[in-house]
Structure 1
Amino acid sequence: MYIIKVKGIAKIPDYVQLRDDKFTLLAYFRVDRPDKSLDKLGLGDKLPDIMDVVKNLPFGQIAKLDI
């Protein structure tokens, strides 16, 4: 799974994308509201781990997420 942090502009907030190995979009959520999207994907229990990666990830970078 891959994670990308996208910088928002003006009124558009920052977002996070989770993508699978074929780069298909699995989840797209606001940095400040990840709960519902991760729960739908079945990753609600991994929320603290994912948000630690998001916090340290620069905008526009793609990182491999091993969960």
Structure 2
Amino acid sequence: MSVSNERLQDDKLSAKVDAKDDKMLVTYDPLETGRGYVSPAVMLEFGARSTGDPLLYRSTNFVGSNRGRRRGAAE
């Protein structure tokens, strides 16, 4: 997970990635405060009952896709 945390740091994002087994937990500073209805964390789970090895290895870029976008800008 060091690569993910390094990338978050490079992009100056206040988030952290922790991993255990087949799960990644991304925690971040909330943009707004409220009553705690939504937790400032996202859990990503990987795996399935019989996935086996992937047929193709592909890289992903989940952080860099937001570069240059302003908060609230139309998509």
TM range (shorter): under 0.3
Q: Which has the higher contact order (CA 8 A, sep 6+)?
A: 1
TM-score normalised over the length of structure 2: 0.26
TM-score normalised over the length of structure 1: 0.28
Whichever structure has more strand as a proportion of its residues is: 1
Whichever structure has more helix as a proportion of its residues is: 1
Which structure would you say has the larger Rg? Answer: 2
